[in-house]
Amino acid sequence: MSTPVKIALLGNPNTGKTSVFNALTGLSQKVGNYPGITVEKKEGICKLNHNTKGLLIDLPGTYSLNASSIDESVVIELLLNKKSKDFPDVAVVVTDVENLKRNLLLFTQVKDLEIPTLLVINMADQMKRKGISLDLPLLEQTLDTKIVLISTRENRGLEELKKTILDYRQLSTSPTIAINSIDEKYFKDLEKTFPNQSLYKLWLVITQDVNFAKIDRKRVSDATDFKTQPASYLKRMQQKETIKRYQFINNVLKQGLTINREAAIDLRSRLDRVLIHKVWGYAIFFIVLLTIFQAIFHWSSIPQDIIDSGFVSLSERLKNNLPEGVFTNLLTEGIISGLGGIVIFIPQIAFLFLFISILEESGYMSRVVFLMDRGLRRFGLNGKSVIPLISGTACAIPAVMATRNIENWKERLITILVTPFTTCSARLPVYSILIALVIPEGSFFGLNYKGLMLMGLYLLGFGMALLAAWVLSKTLSITSKSYFVVEMPNYKLPLLKNVGITVWEKTRTFVTEAGKIILAISILLWILASYGPGKDFNNAEQIVRQNHPELNANALEIKTNAYKLENSYIGILGKSIEPIIAPLGYDWKIGIALISSFAAREVFVGTLATIYSVESDNEDTIKNKMGSELRADGTPLFNLASGISLMLFYAFAMQCMSTLAIVKKETNSWKWPMVQLFGMSILAYIVALSTYQILA
Ligand code: GDP
Ligand code: MG
């Protein structure tokens, strides 16, 4: 085998890069991050012929080589840095036959870097309907390159593409425009200082305000007075460059491209009239969302129940068949339930991404963004934040993963940070038992108090998310330029292959990346809850039997478990935080439940049931037991003040290690999950404290 050909896939967003990438590599692809930043890096292997492989990189979509986002600077950095191990042997610029003029700007820039550059014109299947015809030989001649016309949708042209890539050495590397014509003297000086460099490359190094350059940048500015040029001069020259390029492109296309307007059947404008309508647009979007979330809840509950009972029975079976001991306990109670806690999320993640990628692929998502952008932008969010925010009502994990579609890093980060405020389904059991316990019967204008309280908590979650987003947008000092291009791709039937790969990729990433952290933390929490220092824990059974000689075997076991939990490390922790949580209206038992809830909120009820030695899982039994708990002064522990304080604590606190794990994965650092953990939990504490102090 010869060494693989390194191929960079470039192009404007939505031209079909990822589709080409998927078509060429299938499932032999790897998704990672560029070091230090959160831009996704997709690599894959493709067989070009029987003994040559291609190593493909699917680069982020970019409109030009004038960087205005992290995504774009990734592209420039790669193309400017010959020493990078990913530096391509050949650049493949993917364009959309319907947007050739705009797409070719990037092509001319890449080619001017004197890298062998090949032009792919995608979506050939649309040509007939849109009345587009191309004179390919003429275009190849004027653009001085090879052109491959393909349709990934119809699987056309891909073999020819592979062949042309194989012959990349025959591609011309001469520039399309003479960059020195924008200022002869300036470039003459530049050329004198760096006789062996491509002029356009030097120009890029000078004009980009992002400092990529492990390469020549410093030498460029040290050796010359180029850096002393006022910024306005550089801006003006860049504009001149863009104009020059478009003049060139217009000339090329005038001869090479004809569009017969009559032939274009305009499905698009007819659909758009409804889908981005001021009223109907929102109504339809609302119905689409409602359908999606109904489906996610309904469809995933079936596999989730199966997964849940599967893991429970697996753990029981192992427990019965393995010798008793520490290792068996660790396996059956720590590891297996930890794994169960990961796998249980798979159905929701898979379904959410199934729908999201269908919406994206079909072109509808861009309309949603258009509709929602204005409203959300006021809060520092992006039109695309609507999906994470609403998915958050099912679960924050897939919601955080869904922020990948937001190109602007600051808006993406803010969306990630505030999504956990929305009321996820794990909060429901906590809310419902507390509401049943402390909210009185009765109604207000025919609406019952309990229902109103629950609705209030949902609204509070959204409201807090928006408020927090607004605060963050004012305080986070991240510059990430956002020029809002309303990219409205044509409506298309989704490509099943793309949808399938997205779903697979998201699920796999979650299991392998976040899964590791979730498993580690659940084992840690299990150890803290199953072990304790000293006699009280180790002799729990004896002590309980002595104190309650009347109990039968079953009741004895339940009492022993309660006693053990009380004296375990978590129990001791719960007791020791009592002084801190007493002003919120909680006792140490609630403290234990709170600490366990940092694994996942829904364990609140189960933990209380264990501490109160409730004999059955029946919610009413637990509720009655909670209702009869008294404080030292004889008043009920759970009253309106402490109940509401507790609900607000659950509404705001960051109690979900799985979310923290996925945020770590998505932001590529521990900084942001820690900001969430402490920021949200401190907020929760303050709100719960004031609530209790006012109401009590
Ligand atoms: P990227 O943003 O450049 O990675 O583009 P994608 O690969 O995500 O594709 C953008 C949209 O174009 C998706 O809706 C694809 O289904 C669609 N698409 C990709 N290739 C073709 C094609 O050959 N013909 C048509 N009609 N649509 C395509
Ligand atoms: Mg893509």
Question: Is residue 394's pLDDT more than 80?
Answer: no
Q: Which two tokens stand for residue 336?
A: 């297996």
Identify the residue whose C-alpha is closest to ligand 1 atom 25.
123
Q: What angle do CA 682, 685, 688 make, to 5 degrees?
A: 150
Mean pLDDT over 496-504 rounds to 90
26: left (phi over 0), alpha (psi -120 to 50) or beta: left
Bridge partner residues of 33 (DSSP): 40
| Per-position b or e across 167-201, b if 16+ CB within 10 A of its CB | ebeebeeebbbebbebbeebbeebeeebeebbbbb
Give the pLDDT score at 542: 86
What is d(CA 674, CA 664) in angstroms, rounded to the nearest whole number?
9
Question: Is residue 109's pLDDT more than 90?
Answer: yes
Ligand 1 centre distance from Cα of residue 363 (Å)? 9
Q: How does DSSP assign 535-580, residue by residue?
A: HHHHTHHHHHHHH-TT--HHHHHHHHHHHHHHHSHHHHHHHHTHHH
Ligand 1 centre distance from Cα of residue 123 (Å)? 7
- Decide whether any atom of ligand 1 lies within 6 Å of the 151 Cβ: yes
Q: Which two tokens stand for residue 233?
A: 């001069």
Strand, helix or coil at 135? coil
Rg for the chain, CA atoms, rounded = 30
Mean pLDDT over 107-125 rounds to 94
Q: What angle do CA 336, 652, 375 make, to 5 degrees?
A: 115
Helix (H) or strand (E) holding 90: strand 90-96
Ligand 2 centre distance from Cα of residue 366 (Å)? 14
| Amino acid letter for position 564 | K
Give the pLDDT score at 32: 65
What is d(CA 538, CA 543) in angstroms, rounded to the nearest whole number?
10
Pick the CATH number of 1-265 from 3.40.720.10, 3.40.1110.10, 3.10.620.30, 3.40.50.300: 3.40.50.300
Strand, helix or coil at 83? coil
Ligand 2 centre distance from Cα of residue 40 (Å)? 10
**C-alpha distance from residue 646 to each of 438, 606, 660 (Å):** 11, 16, 22
Mean pLDDT over 322-345 rounds to 84
Closest CA relative to residue 438, chosen from 642, 684, 652, 650? 642
Q: Which two tokens stand for residue 216?
A: 């020549």
157: left (phi over 0), alpha (psi -120 to 50) or beta: left
Give tens-digit pLDDT for 279-333: 999 999 888 877 876 777 678 888 988 998 999 899 889 989 988 888 888 888 8
| Per-position b or e across 657-676, b if 16+ CB within 10 A of its CB | bbbbbbbbbbbbeeebbebb
For a substitution probing ligand 1, which of 365, 492, 496 has the most ligand atoms within 8 Å of its CB? 492
End-to-end CA distance of the chain: 77
Give the position of tokens 């400017």: 80
Helix (H) or strand (E) holding 11: strand 5-11
- Decide whether any atom of ligand 1 lies within 6 Å of the 60 Cβ: no
Give tens-digit pLDDT for 187-221: 888 788 777 778 888 888 777 754 444 445 555 55
Neighbours of 158 (CB within 10 A): 17
Give the pLDDT score at 76: 85
What is d(CA 359, CA 493) in angstroms, rounded to the nearest whole number?
10
Contact 116, 169 (CB under 8 A): yes
Spell out the residues 6+ positions from residue 348 whose beta carbon is closer than 8 angstroms to its own. Answer: 296, 300, 304, 394, 395, 397, 398
Give the position of tokens 């492109």: 249
Query: pLDDT-derived band of residue 263, with 50, 70 and 90 as boundaries?
Result: low
CA-498 nearest atom, ligand 1: 16
Percentage of residues in the chain having pLDDT higher than 90: 35
Mean pLDDT over 532-561 rounds to 83
What is d(CA 288, CA 294) in angstroms, rounded to the nearest whole number?
10
Ligand 1 centre distance from Cα of residue 358 (Å)? 12
CA-154 nearest atom, ligand 1: 23
Ligand 1 centre distance from Cα of residue 19 (Å)? 6
Contact 94, 20 (CB under 8 A): yes
- Decide whether any atom of ligand 1 lies within 6 Å of the 498 Cβ: yes
- Decide whether any atom of ligand 1 lies within 6 Å of the 117 Cβ: no
The mean-pLDDT minimum among 14-18, 127-131, 486-490 falls in: 486-490
Strand, helix or coil at 132? strand
Give the pLDDT score at 447: 80
How many helices (H) and strands (E) the chain has is answered by 34, 11
Of the CA atoms within 13 Å of residue 204, those in its CB half-sphere come to 26
Give the position of tokens 């679960």: 395
Domain boundaries in the chain?
A: 1-265, 280-475, 516-695
The mean-pLDDT minimum among 262-266, 492-496, 520-524 falls in: 262-266
CA-363 nearest atom, ligand 1: 14
Identify the residue whose C-alpha is closest to ligand 1 atom 2.
14
| Amino acid letter for position 611 | I
- Decide whether any atom of ligand 1 lies within 6 Å of the 12 Cβ: no
Query: pLDDT-derived band of residue 493, with 50, 70 and 90 as boundaries?
Result: confident
User: Which ligand has the nearest atom to the CA of 96?
Assistant: 1
Strand order across the 147-149 sheet: 29-33, 40-49, 52-58, 5-11, 90-96, 117-122, 147-149
Q: What angle do CA 222, 227, 230 make, to 5 degrees?
A: 160
- Decide whether any atom of ligand 1 lies within 6 Å of the 108 Cβ: no
- Decide whether any atom of ligand 1 lies within 6 Å of the 19 Cβ: yes
Bridge partner residues of 42 (DSSP): 31, 58
Give tens-digit pLDDT for 225-255: 555 566 677 778 888 888 899 999 999 999 8
User: Which ligand has the nearest atom to the CA of 155?
Assistant: 1
Give the pLDDT score at 218: 58
446: left (phi over 0), alpha (psi -120 to 50) or beta: left
Neighbours of 474 (CB within 10 A): 9
Give the position of tokens 């596999």: 303
Question: Is residue 471's pLDDT more than 80?
Answer: yes
Question: Is residue 259's pLDDT more than 70?
Answer: yes
Helix (H) or strand (E) holding 31: strand 29-33
Give tens-digit pLDDT for 542-552: 888 888 888 78
- Decide whether any atom of ligand 1 lies within 6 Å of the 412 Cβ: no
What is d(CA 301, CA 634) in angstroms, rounded to the nearest whole number?
42
Spell out the residues 6+ positions from residue 6 whose beta carbon is closer than 8 angstroms to its own. Answer: 54, 55, 57, 86, 87, 88, 89, 90
What is d(CA 398, CA 406) in angstroms, rounded to the nearest whole number?
14
Contact 394, 296 (CB under 8 A): yes
- Decide whether any atom of ligand 1 lies within 6 Å of the 673 Cβ: no
For a substitution probing ligand 1, which of 495, 497, 502, 505 has the most ligand atoms within 8 Å of its CB? 495
Identify the residue whose C-alpha is closest to ligand 1 atom 19.
16
The mean-pLDDT minimum among 105-119, 188-202, 344-358, 585-599 falls in: 188-202
Ligand 1 centre distance from Cα of residue 292 (Å)? 23
- To 10 degrees, what angle do helices 136-143 and 100-112 make? 40
DSSP letter, residue 333: I
Contact 129, 266 (CB under 8 A): no
Identify the residue whose C-alpha is closest to ligand 1 atom 17.
16
Neighbours of 109 (CB within 10 A): 27
User: Which ligand has the nearest atom to the CA of 13?
Assistant: 1
Neighbours of 573 (CB within 10 A): 17
Give the pLDDT score at 226: 58
- Decide whether any atom of ligand 1 lies within 6 Å of the 86 Cβ: no
User: Which ligand has the nearest atom to the CA of 120?
Assistant: 1
Identify the residue whose C-alpha is closest to ligand 1 atom 22.
123
User: Which ligand has the nearest atom to the CA of 152?
Assistant: 1
Ligand 1 centre distance from Cα of residue 72 (Å)? 20
130: left (phi over 0), alpha (psi -120 to 50) or beta: alpha
Identify the residue whose C-alpha is closest to ligand 1 atom 18.
16
Mean pLDDT over 639-656 rounds to 94
Give the pLDDT score at 213: 42
Ligand 1 centre distance from Cα of residue 372 (Å)? 23
Q: Which two tokens stand for residue 83?
A: 């020493």
Give tens-digit pLDDT for 41-57: 889 999 999 889 999 99
Spell out the residues 6+ positions from residue 696 whose beta carbon is closer than 8 angstroms to its own. Answer: 585, 639, 641, 642
- Decide whether any atom of ligand 1 lies within 6 Å of the 62 Cβ: no
What is d(CA 680, CA 94) in angstroms, rounded to the nearest whole number?
44
Spell out the residues 6+ positions from residue 368 whose beta carbon is closer than 8 angstroms to its own. Answer: 285, 359, 383, 384, 386, 387
Of the CA atoms within 13 Å of residue 157, those in its CB half-sphere come to 17
CA-22 nearest atom, ligand 1: 7
- Decide whether any atom of ligand 1 lies within 6 Å of the 191 Cβ: no
Give the pLDDT score at 212: 46
Give tens-digit pLDDT for 51-104: 899 999 999 888 888 766 667 778 888 888 887 888 999 999 999 999 999 999
Closest CA relative to residue 341, chosen from 603, 565, 568? 603
Percentage of residues in the chain having pLDDT higher than 70: 91
